A and B are shown apart, each in its own frame.
Chain A
Amino acid sequence: MSTALDEVQTPLNDNTAVASEAAPVLLSVDNVSLSFGGVKAISDISFNILKGEVRAIIGPNGAGKTSMLNVINGFYHPQEGRISYKGKTRKRMKPHQAAASGIARTFQNVALFSGMSTLDNIMSGRSLKMHRGLIWQMLHVGPARNEEIAHRQFVEGIIDFLEIAHIRKQPVGKLPYGLQKRVELGRAMAMQPELLLLDEPMAGMNLEEKEDMSRFILDLNSEFGTTIALIEHDMGVVMDLADRVVVLDYGQKIADGTPSEVQANQNVIDAYLGVAS
């Protein structure tokens, strides 16, 4: 009996740890500062993201979390400090370069094409991977057609993964908020990113939707090995999902570590609950 089992070792039953301490650094932020005129949004922050981990960035309102994500994907350019991604250090990067190098993101407010269907929205996430030019795609024959079929197949895999087959053909503008968030995640997944930045993926969701979304994020991380950096307010969610947490307050880093370490940190408690003066 056991011999029969040993003979076939299916990759599906293969047990591999995704993230471990020895994992290489995928992205590191060194002494980054960002200010808008006189307002210092981020001052002198350093932290890193390891390959294959779920990294959370938390902090009270206005702590600089979204600015941090915008810096990472090249939307803002920090005045000081540097960012290295996959070992390459860069001073200035444009968002489309970030996208091409494997960084995808979702937004705090849903940013989908509301008149287009779920399928088309997610397909739009594949546009960077399409190699045939405009004319070919308009003709929709031969190689362009084959290419689209391959992309569609990939997108169908995402639709199945996110369990949104029932809204495949519906315009996303008509969908409930929780589902729109899911479609947005799908579009980011379509880019096959190495690093996925999620800006409050669970904002405004009810408990059930949050549980679903948490499961998708965990599965995405473990099945596809995607590294995830997320901003989230719901502490329960963060503690369950994240491998490591960095805490910002007033643009400064006040703690960095595993969820339990961060939770016990006095600075964090003060920042969230306020200090008696």
Chain B
Amino acid sequence: MNKLVEGHDGKPVIDNHARLARALPSFPHYLLRNAEQFRHQVAMRHKDLGIWREWTWANLLVEIRRFSLGLAQLGLQPGDKVAIIGNNRPRLYWTFAAVQALGGVPVPVYADSVAEEMNYVLDHAGIRFAVCQDQEQIDKLLSLKDSLETLEYLIYDEPRGMRSYDTNSVLAFDFVQRLGEQAVERDAGLIASWSGDIDNIQTDSLCVMLYTSGTTGRPKGVMLSYRNLIVTCLNANRFDHLSQREQTIAYLPLAWVGDHVFSYGQSYVAGYCVCCPESPDTVTSDRREIAPSYFFAPPRVFENLLTSITVNMEDASKVKRGMFNYFLKVANKHGEKILNRDSVNPAAAFMYGLGKLFVYGPLKNRLGMSKVRVAYTAGEAIGPDIFRFYRSLGINLKQLYGQTEASVYITAQPDGEIDANTVGTPSIDVEIDIADNGEVLYRSPGVFLGYYKNEQATNSTKTPEGWVHTGDAGFIDDAGHLRIIDRSKDVGKLNNGSLFPPKYIENKLKFFADIKEVVAFGDGRDYVAVFVNMDLTAVANWAERNNIVYGSYQELAAHPRVYEMVHDHIQKVNEDLASESRVAGAQIKRFLVLHKELDADDGELTRTQKVRRSFIVERYGDLIEALYSDKTEQFVSTDVTFEDGRTGSIEANVILATVDGYRTPQMQEAV
């Protein structure tokens, strides 16, 4: 550990006791406060049968209390685990607070997991109650019920198709609420004692268990305390100045920590309104109607939106297309500066204003982003062009870096300090450290209690001093922003000693539309070399426009003009890499364009379209060795599987090219 970083806005990272002392101990406490303080304000919206229905905080308290008392009637005890399974629906969100008020622990589960995966999580957590959206989830659980000894009650939100189920263990949400109501009719004192029980919730006790999706190995149950989440949410709201006036749309999986924090934690703490879409398919039009002020989406959502804008503009009339293209250029030039409130010359400001009137405004309205004050993207690297596009329109899109184990926030970009390549500065109260092997470590009040029933994993992730290993390699750049380069186990070293982050390099190239897939080599080698897979749709389009004739994929891939194009892209990436001292040595020296598309059917990609590096090393060993020799051509024969299952082979002479102007820092020094 070599470097300690100061917190956001240069203040020391010791937490602010006075501010945090005002924090309430738990989310049910916040519910009571909001029902008092924001009683007439809308807390939740849901589009049902084509109409937006609303609940104020006061309504919300009544609904939640009814359900909570109903659960108590069914015998829910403090410490009981309650699974929540389904899409973003108000009643599932109410379940969190209803369970917490009784001292229970909600465990949201990914609704699309198959029965077997779900079985592991439910069994591991020891679930007693499950609150499900509909018949689909109930059926899934009923098929598992024999192997789940602890599971007693299944509660469903949507009654459709539920007529003929066993009524003693499968209950309607309404029915449970009615149980609560009747209990109050019998004993009116229950309401007061319910609020009284909330006062006994300890702020350091277990608040929620979130299972990590488990791309490697079994899912792990991350235990977060009330303090973890509440302090993190308070800090996040302060960082972006979020108040009870915000509005957000909840459409990401309930079981994902991001949704839990954005749509539950931060909403309760700030008192802002969460809107639930009609169905997962209507999110785009529902978002347009709601116009959220605070919005989160993974990069692919922004990519898809941009693609659909581009496609629609191709079909638009000439005048509209001309305006769109013209004003987009204006935005590209000045938008970022205007968004950052830097000074621009009056003429440019005027043109941008016109653009806002004719293009950016209507476009933002279409996207449902007219009112966005803060939008975040995270999870993967976002293409700099995509990122800039949204920012130039005046949408305050920022990046953040987070983990379930940190209650989301590790770093985030402060307003006005935006760079597509970084994930921002440490969030409030977060300390960051870079280990000697480049791994990013952090310590914060949001750091999780541990993995449920998995001491070993807890100890290997979290040090006794509270530092957490992220498993990601990164570095702090000169402006104090964190850059994530790769999973730390994938980062290698070149023979000259420089860092070799394969994914970082590959991503930079993949952001060019003509390039579909890239595989970078360099660990233990003298220089970096890459395989490039062109994107047939984009390149074919380009070939047509440039009168390039070709007979097959293979022929197009070997075309000198294609090589020229890829060469130019690589040069740009090299320039980019050269400007970052940590990775300047990892510039690309040699490349080839593969004669066939990498395909999951041939085992070159996983089914989720990720490159299987080890397999490619084995299969294309000759090509790799040729890249590290002086050869300019290499014969290769590969077996392929066609879509109907037949096999055959493709033979080709693949051309190997060297990048002009390749110059590493060492070479620079020598000159």
Q: Please list the residues of chain A having a beta carbon within 8 angstroms of any beta carbon in chain B.
A: 1-2, 4-5, 7-8, 10, 12-16, 152-153, 156-157, 159-161, 163, 165-166, 168-169, 219, 222-223
Contact = CB atoms under 8 A, between A and B. Distances in A.
Given A12-B163, A15-B167, A168 B279 contact: no
B279 A16 contact: no
Nearest to B175: A10
Given A12-B159, A163-B279, A168 B178 contact: no
Contacts of B175: 8, 10, 12-13
Interface in B154-196: 159-165, 167-168, 170-172, 174-175, 178-179, 182-183
A169 B284 CA distance: 13
B182 A7 contact: yes
B281 A165 contact: yes
B346 interface: no
A16 B171 CA distance: 16
Contacts of B641: none
23 contacts: A4-B73, A4-B74, A4-B179, A4-B182, A5-B168, A8-B175, A8-B179, A8-B182, A12-B174, A13-B162, A13-B167, A13-B170, A13-B171, A16-B163, A160-B48, A160-B49, A166-B279, A166-B281, A166-B285, A168-B50, A219-B161, A222-B161, A223-B160
B280 to A, nearest CB: 9
A222 B163 contact: yes
A2 B278 CA distance: 35
Nearest to B47: A165
B75 A156 contact: no
Contacts of A161: 160
A129 B171 CA distance: 36
Nearest to B183: A4
Interface string B21-51: 0000000000000000000000000001111
A15 to B, nearest CB: 6
Closest 9 CB pairs of A and B: A166-B281, A156-B49, A13-B167, A12-B159, A156-B50, A166-B282, A165-B278, A10-B175, A12-B172
B657 to A, nearest CB: 44
A161 B165 CA distance: 19
A16 B165 CA distance: 11
A165 to B, nearest CB: 5
A169 B48 CA distance: 15
Interface string B264-296: 000000000000001101100100000000000
Given A222-B161, A222-B163, 9 more contacts: A1-B74, A5-B179, A8-B175, A12-B162, A160-B49, A161-B160, A166-B281, A169-B285, A223-B160
Given A165-B282, A168-B50, A15 B163 contact: yes
Contacts of A14: 163
A7 B170 CA distance: 16
A15 B164 CA distance: 5
Contacts of A223: 160-161, 163
Contacts of A15: 163-164, 167
Nearest to A160: B49
Given A156-B49, A222-B163, A13 B179 contact: no
Nearest to A7: B182
A117 to B, nearest CB: 12
**Most chain B beta carbons < 10 A, residue from A1, A4, A8, A165:** A165
A14 B165 CA distance: 9
Nearest to B165: A13
Nearest to B281: A166
**Most chain A beta carbons < 10 A, residue from B162, B167, B171, B282:** B167
Contact of B75 (A1, A16, A222): A1
Interface of B: 48-51, 73-75, 159-165, 167-168, 170-172, 174-175, 178-179, 182-183, 278-279, 281-282, 285
Contacts of A157: 49
A113 B632 CA distance: 63
A5 B152 CA distance: 14
A15 B163 CA distance: 6
Contact of A8 (B75, B162, B178): B178
A10 B168 CA distance: 12
Contacts of A4: 73-74, 179, 182-183
A16 B162 CA distance: 12
**Most chain A beta carbons < 10 A, residue from B49, B159, B170, B182:** B49
A157 B51 CA distance: 11
Contacts of A219: 160-161
Contact of A10 (B51, B172, B183, B278): B172
B53 to A, nearest CB: 12
Contacts of B168: 2, 5
**Most chain B beta carbons < 10 A, residue from A2, A157, A160:** A160
A1 B278 CA distance: 35
A166 B283 CA distance: 9
Contacts of B170: 13
A87 to B, nearest CB: 28
Nearest to B158: A160
Nearest to A215: B161
Given A1-B75, A15-B167, A168-B50, A10 B174 contact: yes
A56 to B, nearest CB: 21
Contact of B279 (A5, A8, A13, A165): A165
A161 B73 CA distance: 32
Contacts of A16: 163
A156 B73 CA distance: 35
**Most chain B beta carbons < 10 A, residue from A7, A13, A159:** A13
Contacts of B73: 1, 4
A220 to B, nearest CB: 11
A199 B514 CA distance: 48
A210 to B, nearest CB: 17
Contacts of B171: 13
A145 to B, nearest CB: 16
Contacts of A2: 168
Nearest to A5: B168
Nearest to A12: B159
Given A1-B74, A157-B49, A163-B279, A10 B178 contact: yes
B392 to A, nearest CB: 30
Nearest to A158: B49
Contacts of A165: 50, 278-279, 281-282
**Most chain B beta carbons < 10 A, residue from A4, A152, A157:** A4
B418 to A, nearest CB: 33
A258 B200 CA distance: 62
B111 to A, nearest CB: 15
Contact of B49 (A153, A163, A222): A153
A161 B51 CA distance: 15
Nearest to B156: A12
Nearest to B75: A1
A163 B135 CA distance: 14
A152 B51 CA distance: 11
A153 B51 CA distance: 10
